[in-house]
Structure 1
Amino acid sequence: MESPSAAPPNGIVLFTYPLSAFGRRVTYYLQLRGIAYAYCEQPFMLPRPDMAKLGVKYRKVPILAIGRDIYVDSRLILRTLEEKFPEGKLGSDKPEEKFIEKLLEKYMIEAPPVLGSMVGLVPPHLLDVPGFAEDRVGLCDTEWTQEAIIKGQPECLVYMRRLFDFFETTILADGRNWVLNTDKLSLADIEASWPLDWLIDLKAPMPPHIVSEKQFPKVYAWISRFRAALDEAQASSAPKVVTLHGDAATDFILQSDFTQSGGTVDGGDPLGLKAGTEVEVYPSDWASAHRDSGRLIALAPDEVTIAAQSGGGGQEVHIHAPRTGFKVTEIAGSSTRV
């Protein structure tokens, strides 16, 4: 990555760190698409001063800013990039293929055993990093001690072996190169491969007689093709990534314009909220204590948008989150229900 003084290409700043499995979903997508962007690496653990300056309480990564619009959760980020950069998108327009894409997204992200087993196969030496265990308290109901991680690994291996076998004996069994049997990889391949790629790359403690290239040759060949496609994209078309640090990234965002129209609040939404209601938006899982608050400006079946204040209080930012996996609750005293 390079570090020129130029503004972020396309007004995009991606906040993540290299080890993040969800962050890789976005960096892989951007690389394969050849979409230029700026990268601002975040600490592996809290605190994250850049997020505090932007006024973002959400504690996970990745986070993507396009101008002063800030998107959380890789599902929404990929969907937004598909919509804003439709030329050469990776998603399919065929209903049956879109159905497969969405099923893969939902299963690989929303099914608790996938993330839980990934977390349970984290190399135990990571627990030696000062503060790591405390930072991850509550994640997937895991007890963050070396003893507990090692004790829980057999069950995680049972699940992951079944997941590798699922792909080996179903969609890849006929020898196809890509999930949708396309000429080149598609969004479905990103949605399907990221947990497996992450575990293989991390050199997770998976004994070769349980999970290995020998056991699952088609899966490993598919992951190798995926990585080769990434390398090819990087060599042929992917622009250099602009690296920004701290204030350079946040100052650019706070001085930018909004890039997405405000939208509307669905009057028929089951929550019964109206535009202007002060609400909190937060994940419904272990990170629910980290809540973003602001004025409700858009509420759709698949996305919520609030206007929040930056850390210094001088600028308004729009924070976008998906509906699935997130809660939207009215702040007491803000009585603007339908």
Structure 2
Amino acid sequence: MSTPTDLPIVLYHYDGSPYAKRIVWYLALRGIPYSQCLQPPIMPRPDLARLGIAYRRIPLLSIGRDVYLDTRLILQKLEALYPPSAAHPPLSARTGEHAAIERLLSRYATDGGLFMNAVRLIPAEAPMLKDPRFLRDRADFAGVVGEGAPSPLSPEALAAARPEALAEVRGAAELLETTLLADGRDWVLGSTPGPALADIEAVWVLMWVVRMPGALPADVVGPRQFPKVFAWIERFQRAVDEAARKAGGAKALTGEEAARVILGASFVEGGRGGDEDTVHVDEKDPVAVAGGLKKGANVRLWPTDSGSLHKDSGVLVGFTRSETVIETRGGDGEVLVRLHAPRHGFRVRRVVAEDGASSGLKL
């Protein structure tokens, strides 16, 4: 096991991803150096297949040979593996009250449906909605299968959803304007010298939809109705731009270069077995008991809300209250890669052959 500062960070993302912005902003604000491997906005993504990964959502972040899925887990891991220092100033909450605000804002934006309502505000004339490949890809992302199945981004679907979606986004702006930002503070938690993790959790959806031409009618959600919110968004943008300038930007890697960097590194978490291995399976967990999940079992792992048609197969090496870890093989099956996913929003199932034995996956 290596220390995080010994190992390369590689971020797989594409420029237009609002989820990826969460991680890009975080890395810039904390001054954590990283490389990036830019991906196409639609499938396929052969760069990830090089690592033996089927997961289709963006972003993914690797530290050494550990690859982390889902921005919530990525942020948690960066917080844990890169503790506050002079080089990497803290962003996370320092009190229980502030931690609660931080987590509630995260849940509100993702599980609370705010982001999906922002998606429904994409203007029908947006170029991406004229591209059949994009529409097919996002239907796959949403789990819509079969010829002739209705697209969640069809003009008809967006038109029907727009009024309620607009009301929900307006409600989010109003919530911030009348509560956390009501006293004129610069940042969400009030006492921080610059943007904190709570600001990232609160701003990313609004920033994305505010910057989208034609998404928000100015007389419904604009600086006149919500001056504090819009001033805060601009203040946040200036802060992350300045942080990125100081950090010097990310080094760009091709897919082949990124795979070589990752597959040639060591793991940042856990050892290779024995007492040094901190990655473990809690076999007493209710889901583990019900599903027969044990260390070394062949399993499949997938997200339950979006991108669920793309499942990763591997060997279970970690299963705790907060995380699932499987080992898969990259580099033509020669090198083990550990894939980490949060428990929340993901499902793992043991692969059982027809004879009832554990399937002999070639891993």
TM-score scaled by length of structure 1: 0.92
SS, match of residue 136 in structure 1: helix
Shift of 1:10: 4.5
The corresponding residue for 1:127 is 129
CA contact (8 A) 2:143 2:308 kept: no
Shift of 1:146: 2.4
CA distance in 2, matches of 1:223, 1:308: 40
Shift of 1:140: 8.9
The corresponding residue for 1:31 is 28
The corresponding residue for 2:142 is 139
Shift of 1:59: 0.5
Q: Equivalent of 1:229, from 239, 243, 250?
A: 239
Shift of 1:199: 0.8
CA contact (8 A) 2:181 2:228 kept: yes
Superposition CA RMSD, Å: 1.9
SS, match of residue 131 in structure 1: helix
CA distance in 1, matches of 2:214, 2:61: 28
Q: Equivalent of 2:196, from 180, 186, 194?
A: 186
Shift of 1:84: 1.2
Pair 29,316 (structure 1): closer, same or farther in 2 beyond 3 Å: same
Count of residues in Structure 1 that have an aligned counterpart in Structure 2: 327
1:215 aligns with 2:225: yes
Shift of 1:86: 0.8
CA contact (8 A) 1:9 1:37 kept: no
The corresponding residue for 1:241 is 250
Shift of 1:134: 0.5
1:106 aligns with 2:140: no
Query: Structure 1, residues 51-105: CA drift from partner, whole Å, max 9, x if none?
Result: 1111111110000011111001000111111111112221123111111111111
Shift of 1:204: 4.6
The corresponding residue for 1:298 is 318
CA contact (8 A) 1:281 1:326 kept: yes
Structure 1 gap ranges (5+):
1-7
> Which is worse superposed, 61-70 or 200-209?
200-209
The corresponding residue for 1:266 is 282
> Which is worse superposed, 299-308 or 118-127?
118-127
1:163 aligns with 2:163: no
The corresponding residue for 1:58 is 55
CA distance in 1, matches of 2:91, 2:286: 33
TM-score scaled by length of structure 2: 0.86
CA distance in 1, matches of 2:29, 2:137: 32
Q: Which amino acid aligns with 1:290?
A: H
Q: How does 1:39-58 map to 2 (within 5 A)?
A: 39-58=36-55
CA contact (8 A) 2:7 2:265 kept: no
Query: Structure 1, residues 26-54: CA drift from partner, whole Å, max 9, x if none?
Result: 00101111111001100010000101111
CA distance in 1, matches of 2:6, 2:244: 16
Q: Equivalent of 2:309, from 283, 289, 307?
A: 289
CA contact (8 A) 1:10 1:37 kept: no
CA distance in 2, matches of 1:240, 1:300: 35
CA contact (8 A) 1:10 1:36 kept: no
The corresponding residue for 1:200 is 210
1:255 aligns with 2:258: no
Query: Structure 1, residues 186-237: CA drift from partner, whole Å, max 9, x if none?
Result: 11111111100111122352111111111110100111111111122123x3
CA contact (8 A) 2:143 2:307 kept: no
Pair 38,157 (structure 1): closer, same or farther in 2 beyond 3 Å: same
CA contact (8 A) 2:259 2:331 kept: no
Pair 117,247 (structure 1): closer, same or farther in 2 beyond 3 Å: same
Structure 2 gap ranges (5+):
145-150, 271-276
CA contact (8 A) 1:282 1:291 kept: yes
CA contact (8 A) 1:104 1:188 kept: yes
Q: Which amino acid aligns with 1:232?
A: E
What is the percentage of aligned positions where both structures have the same residue? Answer: 41
Moved over 2 A (4+): 138-144, 333-336
Q: How does 1:70-89 map to 2 (within 5 A)?
A: 70-87=67-84, 88-89=89-90
CA contact (8 A) 2:263 2:331 kept: no
> Which is worse superposed, 40-49 or 128-137?
128-137
Q: Which amino acid aligns with 2:194?
A: K
CA distance in 2, matches of 1:279, 1:140: 21
CA distance in 2, matches of 1:179, 1:298: 35
